[in-house]
Amino acid sequence: MKFHNIEIFQELDKSFEKEFLEYGKKISLKKRETPFVDDRLHSFFYIMLSGKIKAFQMNLETAKEQTLNIYRQGDMFDTLILLDGKPHELLYEVLESAELLELPIAKVRDWLKNNEDFNRHFFPYIASQLRKTEELASDLSLYSTSERLAKLLIQNINPQDPQHFQLLQNLSKTEIAKLIGTVRHVVERHLKELEAEDVIENRRKDIYIKDIEKLLSDNDKPLLPIHQRE
């Protein structure tokens, strides 16, 4: 198996890459599958090769969902189970047909202890995921739904934000709503308002920003750090 378009494989020493791939098994998942319901994540660790898989939590009484992450090419999971071995109460759904590299979690823990090459990539990735979770918690507490949507639209076109860049491509309005902690009709209402103001062009599964300055200026709070707005 050769996966040189995946970031981690671009950074691995060739001898370690060979070992890495010897333990890996390529698996495929179909759209709308709900994988990892059988404690498989306690035995295996995964690296995304293609597609999209969302991790989410659900209130069983109201059926309300909050998407915590959408894993794409190069993403790894479940990093919490890898580190502490404890249950992680998340649900998963395949949004786009996906291919993953499945690795024995015991072997990955061994690499964490003994392989600097793996650590140089793994720990910065963990830090980026923690920052993303921190940002989500702050956004849900401090921003209105219209502000959260505007921020997500801007991040989606910002190549300096690899965690969100082109994230919304082919996502339904329902899935966009779950990313920002609301429901579909609220997202659709805000999008219609932005479209009426000629700020965006709203298509079925693509949203194009026509006036980014107006999108930024219409909100009271700064939606992006200064260096990303320049």
CATH number at residue 224: 1.10.10.10
Query: Mind listing the pLDDT tens digit for each residue in 131-179?
Result: 999 999 999 999 999 999 999 999 999 999 888 999 999 999 999 999 9
Within-domain flag for 30: yes
Same domain? For 25 and 122 the reply is yes
Within-domain flag for 1: no
Contact 143, 205 (CB under 8 A): no
DSSP category for residue 68: E
Same domain? For 217 and 156 the reply is yes
Same domain? For 37 and 124 the reply is yes
Q: Where are the alpha helices (DSSP H) in the chain?
A: 7-11, 14-23, 79-84, 105-114, 116-142, 145-156, 173-179, 184-196, 212-217, 226-229
Place 190 in a pLDDT band, splitting at 50, 70 and 90.
Answer: very high
Q: CA end-to-end span of the chain, whole Å?
A: 41
Place 9 in a pLDDT band, splitting at 50, 70 and 90.
Answer: confident
Handedness of CA 71, 77, 79, 81 (dihedral sign): positive
Question: Read out DSSP for 87-98?
Answer: ----EEEEEEEE
User: How far, CA to CA in Å, does 217 sit from each of 145, 183, 214, 226?
Assistant: 16, 25, 5, 13
Range of the domain at 207: 143-229
Same domain? For 67 and 153 the reply is no
Within-domain flag for 137: no
Within-domain flag for 136: no
Listed residues 130, 151, 182: the one ending a domain: 130
Same domain? For 185 and 94 the reply is no
Same domain? For 16 and 57 the reply is yes
Same domain? For 42 and 79 the reply is yes
pTM (two decimals): 0.86
Mean pLDDT of the chain: 88
Q: Domain count for the chain, please give it.
A: 2
Within-domain flag for 92: yes
Within-domain flag for 204: yes
CB neighbour list of residue 155: distance below 8 Å, 6 or more residues apart? 161, 164, 165, 167, 224
Same domain? For 179 and 218 the reply is yes
Query: Mind listing the pLDDT tens digit for each residue in 194-221?
Result: 999 999 998 877 899 999 888 887 655 4
Mean per-residue pLDDT, 95-116: 94
Q: Tell me the C-alpha distance between 190 and 149, whole Å.
A: 8
CATH number at residue 126: 2.60.120.10
Instruction: Evaluate if residue 2 carries a pLDDT over 70.
Output: no
